[in-house]
Structure 1
Amino acid sequence: MAEKSQRAGRLRPVDLARAHGLSTQAVRNYEEAGILPAADRTPHGYRVYTSRHADALKAFLALVPGHGHGTAASIMRAVNEGAAQEAFRLIDESHAQLLDDRQTLRAVESALRDLEPATTSGPVTASGHTERSRPGGVFIGPLAGKLGIRPATLRTWERAGLVHPSRDPLTGYRVYDEAGVRDARMTHQLRRGGYLLEQIAPLITQVRAAGGLEPLAGALADWRERLSARGRAMLSGAAELEAYLRGRGQDPLSAP
């Protein structure tokens, strides 16, 4: 029965669903959301789909891995409404986000490469009692001097949540342990790269969650692979969307 229906160019919801491992309700939901064109109805009210709907579903499912469900749905709605240029704008935004993510990854990798192994228990040159080191930590003055910044800058980073120094119980001065020195040095590198404090904060959080720089290397490799996968998925999605546009007779080159 299904084969006879398909040979006649008519597809039931179950035909589309089975082809992609979906439920028939999902297919109906996609139509109601505008992801698929509106289906014709039989005299008894049953939906009738065609190869055009099959192509729309194929394009949507190909777009999801690269753009996400929400953006992919918006792209398909725009196409089905005849607004191809809006669909292209949404695609451009996704590519811009991917580029921004790649630049962020490169900035983090560059910052990590520039971080020399640092210890906090050795001697630190001091110019006064507020710039001394202590076992297991470094006072704010020596750390600021080593980074070539003012102590006030470190205090600004602290208010932004980028560094979390403790306090020396005798003097009350800020003390940075090994993790604190690492966070300060990474913040310094990213600031030199032009990143804003609010952009740096989630990166520092990721370093802390990974338990340091060495465990983060695996996370960065996974991040890189996921970005590459998104890029390839965008290519696949673009090919399916182009096929769907051509099938609808929407030539993007002739669109206003």
Structure 2
Amino acid sequence: MKKILRPVDLAQATGLSVQSIRNYERYGFIPPAERGPQGYRLYTAHHLHALRISRTIIASYGWARARLIMSTLHRHDLPAALALIDAYHAEIHGNRCHIEETLRALRTTSITIAPLFATEDAAKLKLLNERQGLLIREAARRVDVRVSALRFWEEQGLLHPARDRTSGYRFYDAEQMRNLQVIVLLRKAGYNFEAIRAILAQLAAGTPEQALQAAEKRLQELAEMSRRCLEALAELWAYIKTL
């Protein structure tokens, strides 16, 4: 016969409140508990296992995504749960690829940005970039942000796209796209607008050290996220085999 655990037993074992235990059940983090004759919840060691696994998954995948993963597993839909997990790993990989691309752009910045300013050839290069530049929707799609974000960053003085004199359309040339990649990266890393302005100014002066450091730090953070996910998955798979 399985040992019956009360909500307070699970709360004491995990450091959560009794109400939190009920919430975890309501949101699908743990399987529904059987009820006793008087309606009391009857938990078991399996529920305690699910609760501990849920907290591990939350720490690695975030609350909302962990809720979807665990509730899907408890509906006995393993393929859908695996798809949710894979989607998050793909997101991490996509971010890593984007940052590596940004790093490559930054590493060439000291050579390529300085000639864009205050030289006779700069006007020709700027004109060429304007003709070959990206419209705002395409520029936003390239860095996976909303069009409204680009407009807002322009209002903040972070972007300076060229404008077509006839249509008024914005065009983002190679220089602006490099700046846009840097802005997206630094915003994700938690930098405020003042700090980003300073870094963009350094980039324009051919000194990308701070931006490079931020990108490399973000890569380290993503590696740590991958490590935590791997550890969590090892525990999750052991739990899945008990379902």
Q: TM-score, normalised by structure 1?
A: 0.66
Q: Deviations over 1:25-53 (max 9, x none)?
A: 11100101111101122223221211111
**Structure 1 residue 18: deviation in Å?**
2.7
In the alignment, residue 202 of structure 1 is paired with which amino acid? V
Cα distance in 2 for partners of 1:92, 1:11 equals 34
Cα distance in 2 for partners of 1:201, 1:216 equals 10
In the alignment, residue 77 of structure 1 is paired with which amino acid? S
Match of 1:125 in 2: 120
Match of 2:18 in 1: 24
Cα distance in 1 for partners of 2:125, 2:186 equals 18
**Structure 1 residue 221: deviation in Å?**
3.4
The alignment status of 1:42 with 2:21, answered yes or no, reads no
CA contact (8 A) 1:14 1:24 kept: yes
The alignment status of 1:63 with 2:57, answered yes or no, reads yes
Q: Which has the larger radius of gyration?
A: 1
CA 1:60 to 1:48, structure 2 compared with 1: closer, same or farther past 3 Å?
Answer: same
Structure 1 unaligned blocks of 5 or more = 1-6, 132-140, 167-182, 191-196, 249-256
Aligned residue pairs: how many? Answer: 205
**Structure 1 residue 215: deviation in Å?**
2.9
Cα distance in 1 for partners of 2:233, 2:134 equals 48
Selected match of 1:107 from 101, 104, 107 = 101
CA 1:122 to 1:224, structure 2 compared with 1: closer, same or farther past 3 Å?
Answer: closer
Selected match of 1:243 from 218, 238, 241 = 238
CA 1:220 to 1:20, structure 2 compared with 1: closer, same or farther past 3 Å?
Answer: farther
CA contact (8 A) 1:111 1:186 kept: no
CA 1:22 to 1:216, structure 2 compared with 1: closer, same or farther past 3 Å?
Answer: farther
**Structure 1 residue 245: deviation in Å?**
1.1
**Structure 1 residue 120: deviation in Å?**
7.4
In the alignment, residue 160 of structure 2 is paired with which amino acid? H
Match of 2:212 in 1: 217
CA 1:19 to 1:187, structure 2 compared with 1: closer, same or farther past 3 Å?
Answer: farther
Cα distance in 2 for partners of 1:155, 1:246 equals 50
Match of 2:68 in 1: 74
CA 1:101 to 1:50, structure 2 compared with 1: closer, same or farther past 3 Å?
Answer: same
Structure 2 unaligned blocks of 5 or more = 140-146, 163-171, 200-207
CA contact (8 A) 1:63 1:233 kept: no
Match of 1:202 in 2: 184
Match of 2:126 in 1: 144
Worse overlay, 16-25 or 29-38: 16-25
**Structure 1 residue 15: deviation in Å?**
2.2
Q: TM-score, normalised by structure 2?
A: 0.69
3-state SS in 2 of match to 1:31: helix
In the alignment, residue 151 of structure 1 is paired with which amino acid? E
